[in-house]
Amino acid sequence: MAFEITLPRLGWDMVEGALASWLKQDGEFVRAGELLFSVEGDKAIQEIEALDSGYLRILPNGPQPGGEKVPVGTLLGYLVPQEQLASFRFPGGDLSDSPKQEAEAIELAEPALVTSQEQAGAPSGDGRTRRIYISPYARRLAEGLGVDWQMIKGSGRAGRIMAKDVEAIAILPKPEAPIAAPSSIQPTPPVQPVMPASALQPAFSAARTVMSPIRRKIAEHMAKSAHTTAPVTLTSEVDATELVTLRKTLKDDAASSGQAVPSYNDLLAKLTAQALLEHPLANARIEGEEIVQLATVNIAIAVDTDRGLIVPVLRDVQTKTLRQLAQESAALIEKTRSGTVSYEELQGATFTITNLGMFEIDAFTPIIDLPQCAILGAGRIMPKQVVVDAGAGRVEIRQMMFLSLTFDHRLIDGAQAARFLQRVKKFVEYPYLWLVG
Amino acid sequence: MYNEEEHDLALTKEQLVSLLGKMLLIRSCEEQVVKIYARGEIPGGVHTYIGQEAVATGVCAHLRLDDAVFSTHRGHGHALAKGMKPERLIAEVMGKATGCCGGRGGSMHLFEPSVGFYGTSGIVGPSILFASGAAYASKLANADRVGVAFFGDGASNNGAFHEGINMATAWGLPVIYVCENNLYATEVPFAMISKSPSIACRAQAYGLPGVDVDGNDVLAVYQAAGEAVTRARAGNGPTLIACRTYRVRAHSEGMRDTGYRTQEEVESWKVRDPILLFKTRLLGQGVIAQAEIDELEAEIRKTAEAAADFARRSPLPDPATVSDYLYS
Amino acid sequence: MREMTFTEAAREGLAEEMARDPMIFVVGEGIGARGGNFNTTVGLYNLYGEWRLRDTPISENGFTGICTGAAVLGARPVVDFMFLDFELDALGGIINQMSRLRWMSNGQVKVPIVLRGGVGVASTGPHHSSNLFSLFMHLPGLRVVLPVFPADAKGLLKTSIRSDDPVIFLEHKKLMNLKGEVPEGEHLLPFGQASVVRSGKDLTIVAISYMVIETLKAATLLEKDGVSVEVIDPRTLAPLDISTILESVSKTHRLLIVDEDFSPGGAGAEIAAQLMEQGFYELDAPVRRLNGAFVPGPYSPPLEAAVVPNAQTIAKAAHDLLVE
């Protein structure tokens, strides 16, 4: 069998090289160890010795000296032992058919994966702009207990919600499986809490619904107000007879039929705005360490809708006529009830009026709508017997109404608030005083 | 120092032919490895033993299967001389599953405990310590097994050499240290990194016999090794045998072999090729005829080619086994 | 049950094993007639003589290599380095050879060897205070064993000697005179079995080596504040019993790891990573680590106090973890 001469590998990472020149002639006898050919490797030309003895037969259509680079292992020629010389033939036809040319490719195995790592599921965002931090265990616990953890205030570092925060507001679980989590939250293995035998029986079988965004927002807002302000409510029973007459007159005016008739809320808004001009402290807010005096009076009117309490805002009330206010408020209330009121229309109030008179409420303790510092509550107007002249012992039937003013004692003192309410009372009882502007 | 005149060895023709045959086997297998490497079929590097065959052969001729041999990065010759089958060697070097270590180690991490071959090593020096340890275990077990360490001139400057030989001599361990001084540690000449006149003379510092031997004379090696093994088995402690020899190829296959030695030097050692020298002596003394040599060579060459062929046809290891055998 | 020190218990284990198997021998500086710097082999030289209690020159790399060779050929050496710091000289052989021989020989060769060394800061200064647990934990092929209590020292040393794997057996200097109960009769402990040393429900603390003792003191302090701590002693870091730790954290939901060895890259980092991977949904707070300061071991007592965690600093770390 003739010995193959192939392009050698000179160095670990050499994959190709060029035949530089033959150092023996075709047909010449070569002894093993003699220099046979030279190769141009990566660095320089290297002379290669013959590994066997035989007569050199250079491959006719093999790589030419000085030619292009070829892969390591490429056949260059043969060294043919004497006894085979006569019968030696180059492998015919396609060299790639030659079994010797099937150089086994060394396949480097894919690095075996020797460790596997579980991918920790990341909770997806729920679309809220505020980032809520909750520990994995607390979240699992919340889902197992059926608690909406997004409303929980966390007591951990950086406001992180911890297991004890969840436990503190959890309702005891029903025996059945907890409600399905909203699809925006990644499923995590829910904690099946182990309740001690002495725990209260799950006797509440009331129906459950998830709080709507509005309800959540209101809840948050109310709680914040209750925890932040120092609310004090003053009540005063006022004689609204003149106000009632005013309204009736406006309503009965045939010439202005078809136009908006100022409601009691509109009247109260206008006269309150006037009173605020004289008592600006009630038209202010606390921001950090500062008291900000607001330059205009925007009065929010609380409106009851079937989606809950919504408060559209009448702007720059001090500059508007009653007629204008009547139109604006009618439009706002319509939009509010139909759900088309815009975000902007709900912003920027500096004072709020809330009227529960239609529900036969007299006095109450309205909650301040932060960042405002006061809120005026109006009760029902009803005829009462009133002493109009104590000396003469004269009693009349007058239209009486309670006003309830809650103010933030952080900002306003009792006497200041009382004086403001007194002025409002005056304006209710003597409308001409504010109608004049 | 042994020379020709003292070749009065009572060796039979059979023994002499066995020595020749072993050297030829090593040479043939290494030639196969060179070719396979040149074809690009060896994933890593190899350091061939061509030119140093007399040392492994002369030493291992005295060893039993249960004697332990530890070798270095240039260890194919020791592996084959100790009895590893050629196909196990070549398959391992090609990274195949049928190699002695399932392809895990390659050339520098060959193991064949069944024939007492406890490993080549990619780090030089430890073979000295391990062979000493094997000897220690033999004493603990009250056995007469010996340990043999093969290493090069480079390792003789490693701490392992000094610490190991010191302790083995202090404790009288049955170990033989065989240093193959082929004049270069990779490409650094011994004289450049040591002022010791020779390696053998270092033995004096540690109190054991140190012997200088012509490493290309298989019978000289055989003689020195025989004495050392006898001493060790008799409980008389270790010996350091320093063999002067030469590798005619580059430090590792594919490396350029120029710049640190001259072609004249290489040629001068080629004419002292251990196989050539031994063949000439055997022929000259009428121990064997040329035809017998030719026949022996042809047979051995066939064995080597068959082993290479087996290795080429063998499969690569299954990646799923990569974590096997990490712990007991 | 009998009470004895850590050293006595370990020695009893060694003596029992040496009586059982004649191929076990001990190697080290001064472990022969002198009985070892830390009394690890007192009395054994008279029983077994120099071939089994071999005094060595100061050649750590050398005698470790010799013992590796002996182990390959059927012996079971115990190499007693006295201080882990000295063992570092042999690190090349430990990593390149000892830890790899079984694997690279495709299972044909084994290295049943035990490497003992004293660890920890104990007014011993920068060259005699190394811990370096994670270094060894990181290497495939090695077992890493660090008992705390005398019974564990005996049980784990016996198992280490009988194991066919190379074992790094680390003994904290401050534990050597620790007294504890040791059972009569054959007592073996498996690798990879952590011990819940104290039960609790508010917080899990995994403590390594001597830190178990300081953590137990911290747990008593915390109890006064109504905090219930579960203390786990892993006993072996390779293999690591992560299941016991996971089970504990499923109960307490908070984990603190206390390790005298410094971080970054301490054993606690690995434990924390595994907990995060396998027990993410049990965690109510991040896993916290309390390590020795990132400096070499100091000599003077006030410096040592500043470097090494103690009961007070552990209790504080536990408190901080509970409220965060």
Cβ contact C107–B325 (<8 Å): yes
Predicted confidence at residue B3, as pLDDT, reads: 42
Question: A49 burial class (0-12, 13-18, 19+ CB within 10 angstroms)?
Answer: middle
Q: What angle do CA C227, C230, C235 make, to 5 degrees?
A: 150
Exposed e or buried b per residue across B27-51, where buried means at least 16 C-beta atoms within 10 angstroms of its C-beta: bbbbbbbbbbbbbbbbeebbbbbbb
| Mutation for testing the C interface, residue in A133, A141, A162, A191 having most C CBs under 10 Å | A162
DSSP string computed for B157-189: GSHHHHHHHHHHHHHT--EEEEEEE-SEETTEE
- How many Å lie between the alpha carbon of B111 and the closest alpha carbon of chain C? 6
Please write the tens of the pLDDT for every residue from A347-360.
Answer: 889 999 999 998 99
How confident is residue A96, by pLDDT bands cut at 50, 70 and 90? very low
Poorest-pLDDT segment among B98-112, B180-194, B204-218, C228-242: B180-194
**Number of continuous H segments (helices) and E segments (strands) in chain C:** 13, 14
Is C274 part of the contact surface with chain A (CB cutoff 8 Å)?
A: no
B and C: number of Cβ contacts within 8 A:
153
Q: Which of B31, B38, B254 sits opposite A6 (nearest CB)?
A: B38
Structure-derived torsion over alpha carbons of residues B315, B320, B321, B326, reported in degrees to the nearest 10: 150
Read off the DSSP letter of residue A392: T
Chain C partners within 8 Å of A136 (Cβ) = 280-284
CA B180 to chain centre: 8
Q: Do residues A401 and A237 make contact, with C-beta atoms less than 8 angstroms apart?
A: yes
**Cα→Cα distances A262→A354, A414, B216, Å:** 16, 32, 124
Higher pLDDT, C263 or C144: C144
Question: A124 burial class (0-12, 13-18, 19+ CB within 10 angstroms)?
Answer: exposed
Please write the tens of the pLDDT for every residue from A381-418.
Answer: 999 999 989 999 999 999 999 999 999 999 999 999 99
Q: Please name the chains neighbouring B, where neighbouring means 3+ C-beta pairs under 8 angstroms.
A: A, C
Strands (E), A312-408: 313-314, 351-355, 374-389, 394-408
Predicted confidence at residue A111, as pLDDT, reads: 36
Residue in B109, B108, B87 with CA at minimum distance from that of residue B96 = B87
Task: Report percent pLDDT > 90 for chain B.
Answer: 84
**Cα→Cα distances A12→A51, B39, B97, Å:** 20, 12, 22
Chain B partners within 8 Å of A111 (Cβ) = 319
Residue in B166, B177, B171, B176 with CA at minimum distance from that of residue B136 = B171
Please write the tens of the pLDDT for every residue from C71-97.
Answer: 999 999 999 999 999 999 999 999 999
Report pTM: 0.68
Please write the tens of the pLDDT for every residue from A315-371.
Answer: 999 999 998 999 998 888 888 877 777 777 888 899 999 999 989 999 999 999 988
As given in the structure block, the two tokens for residue B183 are 């004049």
> How much is the average pLDDT of A94-100?
40
Q: Do residues C60 and C81 make contact, with C-beta atoms less than 8 angstroms apart?
A: yes
DSSP string computed for C97-131: IITTHHHHTTTS-----EEEEEES-SS--TTS---
> How much is the average pLDDT of C9-19?
97
Average pLDDT over all residues of chain A: 81
Judge whether C60 counts as a catalytic residue: yes
Read off the DSSP letter of residue C311: H
Cβ contact B41–A110 (<8 Å): no
Among C60, C171, C260, C270, the one annotated catalytic: C60
Predicted confidence at residue A171, as pLDDT, reads: 52
One-letter identity of residue B118: Y
CA C136 to chain centre: 11
Cβ contact B118–C73 (<8 Å): yes
One-letter identity of residue C71: A
Is the pLDDT confidence value at A97 over 50?
no
Please write the tens of the pLDDT for every residue from B16-29.
Answer: 999 999 999 999 99
Predicted confidence at residue A129, as pLDDT, reads: 58
What ipTM does this complex have?
Answer: 0.89
Predicted confidence at residue A159, as pLDDT, reads: 87
- How many Å lie between the alpha carbon of A196 and the closest alpha carbon of chain C? 15
As given in the structure block, the two tokens for residue A80 are 């043919």
Read off the DSSP letter of residue A359: G
Judge whether C128 counts as a catalytic residue: yes
Poorest-pLDDT segment among A309-323, A420-434, C10-24: A309-323
Q: Do residues C294 and C263 make contact, with C-beta atoms less than 8 angstroms apart?
A: yes
Chain A partners within 8 Å of B254 (Cβ) = 8-12, 14
Dist. CA A352–CA A234, nearest whole Å: 15
Within 9-68 of C, beta carbons closer than 8 Å to B belong to 22-23, 25, 51-52, 54, 56-57, 59, 61-68
The neighbour count for residue A107, using CB atoms within 10 Å, is 9
| Cis bond before residue C286 (omega within 30° of 0) | no
If residue A237 lies in a helix (H) or strand (E), which one and from where to where?
strand A231-239
Collapse the DSSP code of B192 into the 3-class scheme (helix H, G, I; strand E, B; otherwise coil) and give the result: helix
Chain A partners within 8 Å of B90 (Cβ) = none
Is the pLDDT confidence value at C170 over 60?
yes
Within 134-173 of A, beta carbons closer than 8 Å to C belong to 135-138, 140, 156-157, 160, 162-163
Residue in A355, B271, A307, B102 with CA at minimum distance from that of residue B94 = B102
Collapse the DSSP code of B129 into the 3-class scheme (helix H, G, I; strand E, B; otherwise coil) and give the result: helix
- How many Å lie between the alpha carbon of A291 and the closest alpha carbon of chain C? 35
Predicted confidence at residue B256, as pLDDT, reads: 81
Task: Report percent pLDDT > 90 for chain C.
Answer: 93
Predicted confidence at residue A259, as pLDDT, reads: 82
